[in-house]
Amino acid sequence: MKIRLLSALVALSISSITLLSARAEEPAALHDPSREELSAFVRERLSEAVLLFDRHFRVPETGQYLDAIVIGEKKQPKLPSSIAATGVGLVSLAIGDALGVIDNAEEKAIKTLRNLLYPNKKSGFNVARSKNGWYPHFIDARTGKTSRGSQGKVSTIDTALLAAGSAIAARYFSAKSFTQGKGESRVFTLSGRLVGGVRWSKAIFNVERGLIHLIFKGKDEEPLERVFANPFDEYALLPCIAMRGEQLAGRRGPAHDLFFRHYADVRTLPMNDFKGESVIGKRNGNFIAHFTHLFAYYYCNNFGGQAAYRDELRQLASADRKHFKISGKEKFPAALWGLGAGSEIKFDENGKFKRSGYGVNNLGKNPHNTASPAIMAGFAPLFRAGSKDDPMMDLYRLWKAKTCRYDHLGVGFLWRCSARDPKLKVRKVEAVDFSTYLLGFAGREPLISVAFFRHFNL
């Protein structure tokens, strides 16, 4: 089987690589799965998540990935591509190749990266980068033109998410190519040009205060005043990549100083308390959506490799469960929790259905009681399989009870719904917000596991 390559990949030296739902029944009432049933469930859901990206998020003509898809629609409206979603798509190609469920995955990754780097004279596809290599967040998936939502702006964090995904794909396909005696993969070369083409330290505004630029205006990167990120939020991924780039280049620069001053030691991160659980938050005491913590876990070894960080994530998962138990006064389905972002059911002040829209939820803000199986899945590799607190057991129960369960043209998956009334369906699934579902199931699939991310990310 292809994934047996993984045993050989462990031997590769990373440091030597250049930078590059209708509710049928109460879920908790279902029987607990056997080890074999749970294993089959993980493999099936992971395979379908990979296929959702390959068949429906990916635009075959250019290899770019849509920001979102409308569930159940065969012909998608003209939705933009998100470069962050394309980063996830590249990870899904590597996972799909390892599972053996995607044909020509390496060629697809090459097409995606080549179009992001060079104008395509045949199709006319062309993406404009800023002078230091940053990409706009949203582009037209078929032309490469900057979409209206990103007009005149480039995004540092979305460029980082693209870089993280391209690096994982590059290292996976190159390791596979070497084990087959073929030498370096073209994916590795293209990814190196993409990641190495960004001057990452330019995103840093102030090392001492740990401030990072969120966006720049125009090709010449005019900074926006007072628009900065500080520890700890989703921008933690950006200084990790920048720091790693300096390490691989054999030098110590501002990114190294910023990361080790503000991010490297979990004990120095801003901590909040939620009902006796210690959770990483923001300096001002606010809570943050949990995809933030999970992106750092999967994409940055300096976080994922720390036992203290993994312990914090387990406490965060416990706090997440407590939030739903308390806010629902123990009336919500026990297996349903997860605080993240994406489409959600919104209610009016009288508690009646209002519309489906977009929302970002955390321990301090979840007005519509939205639950996210994608966040639940992201936590799953941190727990022992089959244990009382194993999120995968909850996901299994949700699937069997058809709670938060969706079908998009024959591909099934679990996605966001309101814990108040799980039978109400959202209209869209957003690729980046759904990504922790893919990452979490991959981390629990024995043929891949968390080792895949530890060995192939930056």
Residue 16 has pLDDT above 50, yes or no: no
pLDDT given for residue 6 in this prediction: 40
Residue 434 has pLDDT above 90, yes or no: yes
* Distance from C-alpha of 445 to C-alpha of 447, rounded to nearest angstrom: 6
Tell me if the bond preceding 303 is cis, omega within 30° of 0: no
Helix intervals (H) in 10-146: 35-52, 83-99, 105-117
Residues contacting 194, CB < 8 A, separation 6+: 20, 113, 116, 117, 162, 163, 166
Per residue in 172-192, pLDDT (tens digit) is 999 999 999 999 999 999 999
* Distance from C-alpha of 418 to C-alpha of 370, rounded to nearest angstrom: 4
* Distance from C-alpha of 139 to C-alpha of 239, rounded to nearest angstrom: 24
- The SS3 call for residue 278 is strand
Average pLDDT, the chain: 91
pLDDT given for residue 152 in this prediction: 87
How much is the average pLDDT of 313-317?
98
Query: Where do the structural domains in the chain lie, given as residue ranges?
Result: 1-17+59-70+79-198
Residue type, 365: K
* Distance from C-alpha of 312 to C-alpha of 266, rounded to nearest angstrom: 9
- DSSP calls for 398-416: HHHHTSSEEEETTEEEE--
Report how far Cα 95 is from the mean position of its chain's Cα atoms.
14
**Comparison of pLDDT for 188 and 227, the residue scoring more:** 188
pLDDT given for residue 234 in this prediction: 85
pLDDT given for residue 23 in this prediction: 36
Residue 12 has pLDDT above 90, yes or no: no
Residue 17 has pLDDT above 60, yes or no: no
Residue 386 has pLDDT above 60, yes or no: yes
Region of poorest pLDDT, from 221-225, 271-275, 398-402: 221-225
Residues contacting 293, CB < 8 A, separation 6+: 280, 312, 313, 316
Residue type, 154: V
pLDDT given for residue 30 in this prediction: 61
Residue 21 has pLDDT above 60, yes or no: no
Compute φ and ψ for 88, nearest 5 degrees.
Answer: -65, -40
pLDDT given for residue 27 in this prediction: 56
Residue 100 has pLDDT above 90, yes or no: yes
Report how far Cα 402 is from the mean position of its chain's Cα atoms.
24
* Distance from C-alpha of 83 to C-alpha of 310, rounded to nearest angstrom: 28
* Distance from C-alpha of 360 to C-alpha of 313, rounded to nearest angstrom: 19
**8 Å CB contact between 427 and 343:** yes
How much is the average pLDDT of 325-342?
96
Region of poorest pLDDT, from 221-230, 378-387, 390-399: 221-230
Res. 149 pLDDT band, cuts 50 70 90: confident
* Distance from C-alpha of 396 to C-alpha of 283, rounded to nearest angstrom: 36
Per residue in 392-418, pLDDT (tens digit) is 999 999 999 999 999 999 999 999 999
pLDDT given for residue 26 in this prediction: 55
Percent of the chain beyond pLDDT 70?
93
pLDDT given for residue 4 in this prediction: 40
pTM: 0.93
**Comparison of pLDDT for 311 and 230, the residue scoring more:** 311
pLDDT given for residue 14 in this prediction: 34
Report the half-sphere exposure of 28 (CA within 13 A, side-chain side). 10
* Distance from C-alpha of 160 to C-alpha of 146, rounded to nearest angstrom: 18
Residue 164 has pLDDT above 70, yes or no: yes
Per residue in 25-77, pLDDT (tens digit) is 455 556 789 999 999 999 999 999 999 999 999 999 999 999 999 999 998 88
